Amino acid sequence: MGQSVSPLDQFVQCIIGAVFILMQHQSMIDLRHFRYFQAAAQELHFGRAAARLCISQPALSRQIQQLEEEIGTPLLRRTQRRVELLPAGQVFLERSNQILDEVRRATLDARRTGAGEFGRLSVGFIHSSTYGLLPSIVERFRHLYPDIELELHEMPITEQHVALKRGVIDIGLLRPQPAPPDVEIQPVIEEPFLVAVPFSHRFAKRRLIRLNELDGEAMVMFPHRESPLFHSRILAMCERAGFSPRVAQQATQIHTVAGLVGAGIGLAIIPGTARNLQRKDVHFLEIADRPEPVHVALGWLRSREDTPTIRSFRQVTLLVVQQINASTSVATDTQRQQPIRGRAGRPNRT
C-alpha cells in the first residue's frame, strides 16, 4: 500500500507543475496571458472579456494572438458573430484555471504562513505533560490553527535538546534543566510538590504534612540516572528537613510512582500533575514546608524564535496556562474551605 499524500504535499506538487509549465514558455507567456485567456474563454465575447479585465478590446485580441503564436496552435475560433473554444483551447482553459487557482492559493498560504496560521510544526513533549497540559494545548491549537499540521514526539528532556539542535522538532514541552546555550527555555507553569500516600495510610485523613514526618517511612523515589531533576530536588528537600529518605522502590514515570504508592509499596514526593491521574487508591497532601515547585517549560532554538508557527504555539500555550492557573486557584480556595473527612465522615482539623 502506498503512502498517503498530505494536502500540503499536494499543494507543493501543483505549484511545481504550474512553475514547470511557465518555465517551458518563459520567453513570452506569463500569468497575464493566463488571466486574459481565461476571461475570453469564459465570456466567449471579446468585448465583455475586455470590459471584465478593464483593458481595451484590441489589446485583449493582441494578447490572445500572441499567446496562440507562442503555443503554436489556435485556441479560439473567431467569427463576426461568435467566439468558439477549440479543443486545444478547452485543454488550455482547464490547465489555466488550475494554475491561476494554485497561484491564488499560494499567495494566500504564503501570507498565512507568515502570520503563523499555515504550515507544519513538530512538537516534542515529556510524558507527564499528557496528564493535562499537552492535551489542552493541542485541542486549543487545533481549534485556532486548523491548517497547521502538528507532529507530536514523546521524548525525554535531554533528547529534546538534541532534537531541537538537529531540527527534528521545532519546539519542546519539557522541564527546565541545563540546556545547550542556543536553546531558549521559558518556564510556563509551576507544579507544587505533593506527598502521595496510600488511601489506607494514617496520613490519608489529612490535608497538610511536614516533610520531617516522612522520616522513617518507606518511600518510592525517582532514580537519579533516569530522572535527575526530580531525584535531586526531592533528596535536597528531605535533607533540609533533617532526614534521608528510606527508599523502598524506584520508578521513572509519575504514573508508575503513583501506582506503586496505591499498591502500598511506600509514600512518595511527587509533582502536582499526578493529581490529574485521579487514582482512587492514592491521597495527595500539600507540603507545609512549601518546597520550591517544579516547572514545565517550552524550549526552542534561539535562532528560530521568530518562526511564525513557533510563535503561534507559544502564544496558545501561555493562553492555556493562564486558564489552568485561574481554574486551579478557584478549586484550591474551595477545597481549603472544606474540612477533610475520615472514613466515618467526621471532619479532621489537621
Cα–Cα dist 65/69, whole Å: 6
Predicted pLDDT of residue 105: 82
pLDDT of residue 157: 94
119-190+296-330 topology per CATH: D-Maltodextrin-Binding Protein; domain 2 (3.40.190)
Q: How many CB atoms lie within 10 A of CB 193?
A: 23
Residue 49 in contact with residue 60, Cβ under 8 Å?
A: yes
Position 271 scores a pLDDT of: 96
**What is the C-alpha separation between 160 and 37, in angstroms, rounded?**
53
Distance, in Å, from the CA atom of 233 to the CA atom of 52, rounded to the nearest integer, reads 72
The DSSP secondary structure of 52-70, one letter per residue, reads HHTS-HHHHHHHHHHHHHH
Give per-residue burial for 322-350: e unless 16+ CB within 10 Å, then b: eebeeeeeeeeeeeeeeebeeeeeeeeee
The residue type of 325 is N
pLDDT of 112: 73
- Please tell me the distance from the alpha carbon of residue 189 to that of residue 147, in angstroms, as a whole number: 27
Per-residue pLDDT, 184: 97
Q: What are 218's three cell numbers?
A: 518507606
Grid cell 491521597 in the structure block, residue: 283
Burial (0-12, 13-18, 19+ Cβ within 10 Å), 305 = exposed
Smallest CA-to-CA distance from 203 within 283, 273, 289 is with 283
The span from the CA of 95 to the CA of 7, in Å, is: 20
For the chain, give every domain's residue range.
Answer: 8-114, 119-190+296-330, 193-292
Q: What are phi and psi of 313, to 5 degrees?
A: -65, -40
The CATH code that applies to domain 8-114 is: 1.10.10.10
Ranges of the chain whose pLDDT falls below 70: 1-28, 115, 329-350
Q: In terms of DSSP H, where are the helices of the chain?
A: 7-24, 31-43, 46-53, 57-71, 87-114, 133-144, 157-166, 228-240, 254-262, 308-336
pLDDT at 80: 77
Predicted local distance difference test score (pLDDT) of residue 206: 96
Instruction: Say what the pLDDT of residue 113 is.
Output: 73
Question: Quick check: do 119-190+296-330 and 193-292 share a fold?
Answer: yes
The pLDDT value given to residue 341: 41
Whether 149 and 309 have beta carbons less than 8 Å apart is answered as: no
Domain 193-292 has CATH 3.40.50.1820: no
- Mean pLDDT across the chain, nearest whole number? 87
Q: What's 285-338 look like in SS3?
A: EEECCCCCCEEEEEEEEHHHCCCHHHHHHHHHHHHHHHHHHHHHHHHHHHHHCC
Give the dihedral of Cα atoms 67, 68, 71, 75; nearest 10 deg.
Answer: 120
